[in-house]
Structure 1
């Protein structure tokens, strides 16, 4: 299973709407199940340096099938994944990357969001991932 082009476009639009709602210009990335770039949006005014961060957040989540913020908790000094951010061409180990699942709970890709505070990035990523789940379960959210 893979996130479709149609789904990725709708996910990007939902993330953009959420980012506008909280008043933060963001970089929003969707990767497919192979962690390949599927869709990207840099909102007007979003920080340029956050584009790469959003990509790496999405890839980090997909590579390890866990929210990027959870990797961060495990990668602290003394943690079981200490220094993992240096692997795979560079990972991002703070919140804003979330796996995307279909209605059978199969991972179909990931979203990465960057441009606000870590909490704002995570808020947008989680809201959109949850909305995708609801939409796939035939509840119109996105």
Structure 2
């Protein structure tokens, strides 16, 4: 049984989710070294969540993780999402650890969307900036 992204919380690490990988981008340090990888994952309820993978852990997965594919991911940390660099509306984010497993899910039909977009009015953007800068 898989958990929905909307049900993730910080109470445990034995989660199991089925998600489509929508985006990947690098996180680099000031000196240009790759610190890790940011991911956006989407489930079949169109909920998206940001995930972070440290560079040394990414090396366990990088040969077979591809944007657009669907994966079964298990055993990871969940933390509260906060700060001005929050990537999705989700209140939590996922952090891969050494125990995290990622398996490709091969199914000709799957109801997980490829992308999710949140369109905002200008006033909402300004409000979010104000909220994020109040930390």
TM-score (norm 1): 0.25
Larger radius of gyration: 2
Q: Which has the higher helix share?
A: 1
TM-score (norm 2): 0.26
